[in-house]
Amino acid sequence: MKAFKVILVIATVLILAACASQPNMGDIMQQHATDDQAAVDLQTQLSKDWKRGSKLLQTGTKRAQQAEKALERGNQEIAEGTRLMEESERRFREAFPDLKLEADNN
CA–CA distance, 34 with 8 (Å, rounded to integer): 38
Using pLDDT thresholds of 50, 70 and 90, give the confidence band for residue 1.
low
3-state secondary structure the chain: CHHHHHHHHHHHHHHHHHHHHCCCHHHHHHHHHHHHHHHHHHHHHHHHHHHHHHHHHHHHHHHHHHHHHHHHHHHHHHHHHHHHHHHHHHHHHHHCCCCCCCCCCC
The pLDDT score that the predictor gives to residue 30 is: 84
Domain residue ranges of the chain, discontinuous segments joined by +: 51-88
Q: What confidence tens digit (pLDDT) does each residue in 26-60 have?
A: 888 888 888 888 889 999 999 999 999 999 999 99
Tens digit of each residue's pLDDT (9 = 90 or more) over 55-97: 999 999 999 999 999 999 999 999 999 999 999 999 999 999 9
Which has more confidence, 15 or 102? 102
Q: Are 34 and 23 a contacting pair, CB within 8 Å? A: no
Amino acid sitting at position 84: L
pLDDT of residue 106: 53
Query: In terms of pLDDT, which residue wins out, 25 or 88?
Result: 88
Which pLDDT does position 19 carry in this prediction?
A: 61
